[in-house]
Structure 1
Amino acid sequence: MNKATIAIDVGGTKISALLIQDGTVLERRKIDSVVHTNLDGLAEHLYQLCSGWIEQAEHLAIACTGQVRSDSIGFLSAKKQLPLQQQLNSLFKLPLTIINDAAAAAYAQFKLLQHAGLFCGKTETLVYITVSTGVGGGIMQNGQLVMSDDGFCAHLGHVTVPHQGRPVRCHCGRDNCVEAIASGTALAKRASALLGRSVSTAEVFALSDAVPAMAELIDDAASALTSLIANAKAWTGCQYVVMGGSVGVSALFYLVQQKLAQLPEIYQVTLLKPDNGADSDAWGVYWYSQRALNTNQLPSIQ
């Protein structure tokens, strides 16, 4: 029996960890993220989260928000780089695999669809979009995860799209990025400015039937995501697009689906929700870390 792998999903809102042995989850843990509150203490935070697991593990697999470089992580929203790999190596003293969280989710979904035979006789290309605190992305092109040395690759939230009205500035420095229009953070921020009080993302959706301005914000977000998907189809030739994240799987999903159906035929894709929900990122980086050992094996999902 192999020793376990610690698989951790580091997001902007939450951090979740799985202890996985031979494809079976032995234990789960979840805590609030410190990416926006104590970024310098992130490595120590992860180490404490995994207390009692490290002695059982032979590998550490991390799916992390941000620009994952070989020696550091760039956090755009915080405008800061962190030598997270070095810090984790010093604390855990385990072999480390680390990739972007949306890339991990893309890899997980690709493996599941591949296992189900959806790519049989077709180009093995998939685009994954996660809509939550921000808007992230991952691309599997011809069976390979698309990555780059500087880590700024497939960050689909920073693609600009047509937008009516005043330009919306994104924290990356450009106007009308999808993230600045369609993320949960953006919806809450724009709604709060319109209503003159603090509004949560959940409240934006709850008010949409009674307050036309909220419905317009959601429609605006859906239009931005639809444009992004049409662009992704043109770039990659993908047949499948998966839209996940807490905001992505809400009522917004069906609105995007309706808007996609109105596009010219050449832009048509099959829009899917993730198959393994909140654990997509952790499973994805686990499978990615195991790919050399278990190329043709797909662990069961718990």
Structure 2
Amino acid sequence: MSAGMTGTVGSGALLAILRDGRARTKTELVQATGVARSTVSARLDALLEQGWAVPVEDPISSGGRPAIAFAFNTRARVVLAADLGATHARLAVTDLAATVIGERTAEVLITDGPEKVLSWLVTALDELLTETGHDLSRVCGLGVGLPGPVEHDTGRPVSPPIMPGWDGFDVAGWLSERLGFPVMVDNDVNIMALGEHWATESSVDQLIFVKIGTGIGGGIITDGRVHRGAQGAAGDIGHIRTREAGENLVCRCGNTGCLEAVASGSALAARLSAAGIPAATSRDVVRLVRGGNGEAIRLIRQTGREIGDVLASIVSFFNPNVIVVGGDIGEAGEQLLAGIREVVYSRSLPLATQHLLIRTSRLGDRAGAIGAAVMVIESVLAPDAMDLALQASTQAVKTS
């Protein structure tokens, strides 16, 4: 937003300016918006009244009476986040800067079905709120990540392969009805990509997040936003056919030769077990790699090459700045990255790879929860949404 802008400037637009973390005086806000001081004062008063902005002493005051500046109040409300995986869940309460205030993890089976899992979620979130000293009245929304394809606009899973009973279930509506505030739902890898971008790569326009766990999926950030595709299926790289796979490797989607059937954590655990090395989960595979097991290390490097083979084509097509590898198998670190880099850098065009960074997630298990919170924050604090919320609050006060 800059001087000389045209159109109506609401309170939401002022808050959008303050969200960069720098306090500003009324004079600076007038300069930033190009509207009258009286208009800025009225819009700012609405934000102050609801606690979205707070006054602070201007630290740059040059003598005399200190000017009053105004800053975004990141503690005005709290956000709830839930990252639901195939066998686990991570819940969090964050402020409006997606800073985690409280969190918990639990073993939860997504195969238990929507009503059982979501009933548990409602109870667990209420307990976590209480632990952090908040209640439902302070919550502005809940973000949920699910381990399967999601129609983002409706919050409904669409034919999720590892979520029996969830297809078409109104997750957002079911939760919102019981909690009393907005609920947003997305695929778990999309929110991981969003969280990683927000917290560690906000200056990057193009990012791909690859989650390697029980399954394999990809989240795409383009021009700083999640790219979901026409029906929310963008980034489903786990079901791209690999050249290395044999015809007899059947994927849980029903096709053969999918990357997920070859390189997912469950596939790797099965291959190690078949070789006489006990491994039941993705974490068992990583434990063996970290423990120096030669067969596990060989397998994880080959897995990196197989994933790199798929990513090489994506790099040439999409030209990302950064590829982030996360999920349980991502914890194998350099052993996995070595295989990915080997193939990506050798098979993609030099122009596409000359500045490409391939690394593991810096947020680790927190990426999804933070991304779920960011999804809500960006929606609730969007200028138009904020104007509507302030109008509704004002109207409620007048009629009470």
Residues 214 and 265 in structure 2, CA contact (< 8 A), matched pair in contact too: yes
SS in 1 for 2:214: coil
Per the alignment, residue 130 of structure 1 pairs with 211
Look up the equivalent residue of 2:92 and give its one-letter code: L
Residues 172 and 184 in structure 2, CA contact (< 8 A), matched pair in contact too: no
Residues 229 and 241 in structure 1, CA contact (< 8 A), matched pair in contact too: no
Look up the equivalent residue of 1:157 and give its one-letter code: G
Residues 137 and 154 in structure 1, CA contact (< 8 A), matched pair in contact too: yes
Per the alignment, residue 284 of structure 1 pairs with 371
Residue 51 (1) aligns with residue 126 (2): yes
Higher relative contact order structure (alpha carbons within 8 Å, sequence separation ≥ 6): 1
Residues 110 and 117 in structure 2, CA contact (< 8 A), matched pair in contact too: yes
Alpha-carbon separation, structure 1, partners of 2:286 and 2:79: 38
Question: By how many angstroms is 1:41 displaced?
Answer: 1.3
Structure 2: gaps (5+ residues): 1-50, 52-75, 130-134, 383-400
Residue 33 (1) aligns with residue 90 (2): no
Q: Please identify, of 33-42 and 222-231, the stretch whose mean Cα deviation from structure 2 is larger.
A: 33-42
User: What is the number of equivalent residue pairs in this alignment?
Assistant: 289
SS in 1 for 2:330: coil
SS in 2 for 1:51: helix
Per the alignment, residue 8 of structure 1 pairs with 82
Alpha-carbon separation, structure 2, partners of 1:111 and 1:210: 36
Residue 76 (1) aligns with residue 161 (2): yes
Q: Residues 27-84 of structure 1, C-alpha deviation per residue, up to 9 Å, x if partnerless?
A: 1111112203444412112112112425242211112221111252132124541332
Residues 127 and 232 in structure 1, CA contact (< 8 A), matched pair in contact too: no
Match of 2:310 among 216, 224, 228: 228
SS in 1 for 2:218: strand
Q: Residues 71-99 of structure 1, C-alpha deviation per residue, up to 9 Å, x if partnerless?
A: 52132124541332222122222111111
Look up the equivalent residue of 2:233 and give its one-letter code: F
Alpha-carbon separation, structure 1, partners of 2:196 and 2:287: 30
SS in 2 for 1:59: strand
Question: By how many angstroms is 1:195 displaced?
Answer: 2.8
Alpha-carbon separation, structure 2, partners of 1:25 and 1:184: 28
Closer, same or farther: CA 278–197 of 1 in aligned 2, 3 Å: closer
Residues 143 and 372 in structure 2, CA contact (< 8 A), matched pair in contact too: yes
Look up the equivalent residue of 1:101 and give its one-letter code: D
Residues 211 and 327 in structure 2, CA contact (< 8 A), matched pair in contact too: yes
Q: Please identify, of 156-165 and 240-249, the stretch whose mean Cα deviation from structure 2 is larger.
A: 156-165
Question: By how many angstroms is 1:216 displaced?
Answer: 4.7
Per the alignment, residue 157 of structure 1 pairs with 238
Per the alignment, residue 193 of structure 2 pairs with 106
Alpha-carbon separation, structure 1, partners of 2:94 and 2:267: 35
Closer, same or farther: CA 190–5 of 1 in aligned 2, 3 Å: same
Alpha-carbon separation, structure 2, partners of 1:210 and 1:59: 45
What is the percent sequence identity of the aligned residues? 19
TM-score normalised by L of structure 2:
0.65
Closer, same or farther: CA 139–210 of 1 in aligned 2, 3 Å: closer
SS in 1 for 2:325: strand
Instruction: Write out aligned runs for 1:85-96 (5 A).
Output: 85-96=172-183
Report the RMSD for the aligned CA atoms in angstroms: 2.7
Question: By how many angstroms is 1:144 displaced?
Answer: 2.6
Alpha-carbon separation, structure 2, partners of 1:133 and 1:201: 7
Question: By how many angstroms is 1:264 displaced?
Answer: 4.9
Residues 158 and 177 in structure 1, CA contact (< 8 A), matched pair in contact too: yes
TM-score normalised by L of structure 1:
0.84
Q: Residues 242-290 of structure 1, C-alpha deviation per residue, up to 9 Å, x if partnerless?
A: 1111211313234323444444543633102222221111111211221
Alpha-carbon separation, structure 2, partners of 1:71 and 1:202: 30
Residues 181 and 220 in structure 1, CA contact (< 8 A), matched pair in contact too: no
Residues 13 and 133 in structure 1, CA contact (< 8 A), matched pair in contact too: no
Alpha-carbon separation, structure 1, partners of 2:176 and 2:164: 23
Look up the equivalent residue of 1:271 and give its one-letter code: I
SS in 1 for 2:304: helix
Closer, same or farther: CA 220–46 of 1 in aligned 2, 3 Å: same
Question: By how many angstroms is 1:164 displaced?
Answer: 4.8
Question: By how many angstroms is 1:131 displaced?
Answer: 0.8
Residues 67 and 150 in structure 1, CA contact (< 8 A), matched pair in contact too: no
Per the alignment, residue 253 of structure 1 pairs with 337
Q: Which has the higher helix share?
A: 2
Q: Residues 123-180 of structure 1, C-alpha deviation per residue, up to 9 Å, x if partnerless?
A: x211110111211210012233111453322112122211154531111111121211
Question: By how many angstroms is 1:207 displaced?
Answer: 5.3
Per the alignment, residue 20 of structure 1 pairs with 94
Q: Residues 216-237 of structure 1, C-alpha deviation per residue, up to 9 Å, x if partnerless?
A: 5323321221112112212211
